Amino acid sequence: MRPFSYTAFDAEGARTKGLILADTEADASARLRAQGLFVSDLTASRKRPSFGNGLRRTARLNSDLQAVFTRQMAVLLSADMPVESALEAIRTSGDGTALATVATRARASLMQGGTLAESLEEAGAGFPAYVTAAIHAGEGAGELATVFEELARHLESLGSERAEIVSALVYPAFVAAVSFLVCAILMVNVAPEIVAMFEISGQPLPPLTRRVLAVSDWIRDNITGVSIALVALAVLIVLSNRVPAMRAVRDRFLLRLPLIGRLMRRAAAVQYLRTLALVLASRQTVPVAVENAARVLDIAQFRAEADSVQTALQEGASLSDALDRLSIIPPVARQLVGAGEMSARLAPMAERSAILVESDLTSERKRIAALLEPMLMMLVGAFVLLVVLAVLLPIFDLQAVVAG
Q: Where are the domains of the chain?
A: 2-44, 63-156
Segment 225-243 shows an average pLDDT of 88
pLDDT for 46 = 54
Q: How far apart are CA 210 and CA 10, in angstroms?
A: 87
Check pLDDT > 50 for residue 143.
Answer: yes
pLDDT for 404 = 56
Q: How far apart are CA 91 and CA 236, in angstroms?
A: 38
Q: How confident is the model at residue 57 (pLDDT cuts 50, 70, 90)?
A: very low
Check pLDDT > 50 for residue 318.
Answer: yes
Check pLDDT > 80 for residue 188.
Answer: no
Q: In Å, what is the CA distance from 355 to each residue of 239, 269, 324, 347?
A: 34, 11, 19, 12
43: helix, strand or coil: strand
pLDDT for 246 = 86
pLDDT for 72 = 92
Q: Give start and end residues of each alpha helix (H) in 125-243.
A: 129-141, 144-185, 191-201, 207-221, 223-242
pLDDT for 375 = 84
Q: How confident is the model at residue 325 (pLDDT cuts 50, 70, 90)?
A: very high
Q: How far apart are CA 361 and CA 271, in angstroms?
A: 11
- Which residues lie below 8 Å from residue 236, measured CB to CB, with a gap of 6+? 246
Check pLDDT > 50 for residue 257.
Answer: yes
- Which residues lie below 8 Å from residue 211, measured CB to CB, with a gap of 6+? 390
Q: Give start and end residues of each alpha helix (H) in 222-345.
A: 223-242, 244-256, 258-281, 286-295, 300-314, 319-322, 331-342
pLDDT for 391 = 80
Q: Distance from first CA to last CA of the chain, Å, rounded?
A: 93
> Which residues are registered as beta bridge partners of 15?
9
* Better pLDDT: 57 or 247: 247
Q: In Å, what is the CA distance from 289 to each residue of 65, 123, 274, 306, 333?
A: 27, 25, 11, 12, 16
Q: In Å, what is the CA distance from 233 to each residue of 220, 227, 237, 251?
A: 20, 10, 6, 16
Q: Over the chain, what is the mean pLDDT?
A: 81
Check pLDDT > 70 for residue 90.
Answer: yes
pLDDT for 97 = 76
Check pLDDT > 70 for residue 56.
Answer: no
pLDDT for 95 = 54
Q: How confident is the model at residue 21 (pLDDT cuts 50, 70, 90)?
A: low
Instruction: Give the model confidence (pLDDT) of 346-383 as tens digits.
Output: 888 988 998 899 888 888 887 887 787 788 888 888 88
Check pLDDT > 60 for residue 179.
Answer: yes
Segment 144-159 shows an average pLDDT of 84
Q: How confident is the model at residue 59 (pLDDT cuts 50, 70, 90)?
A: low
- Which residues lie below 8 Å from residue 341, measured CB to CB, with a gap of 6+? 318, 319, 320
Segment 178-206 shows an average pLDDT of 77
Segment 128-134 shows an average pLDDT of 77
Query: CATH 3.40.50.150: does it fit domain 63-156?
Result: no
pLDDT for 322 = 92
pLDDT for 45 = 60
pLDDT for 3 = 64
Least confident of 8-12, 79-83, 331-335, 340-344: 8-12
User: What is the H or E stretch that residue 27 is in?
Assistant: helix 25-34
Question: What whole-number percentage of the chain has pLDDT above 90?
Answer: 12
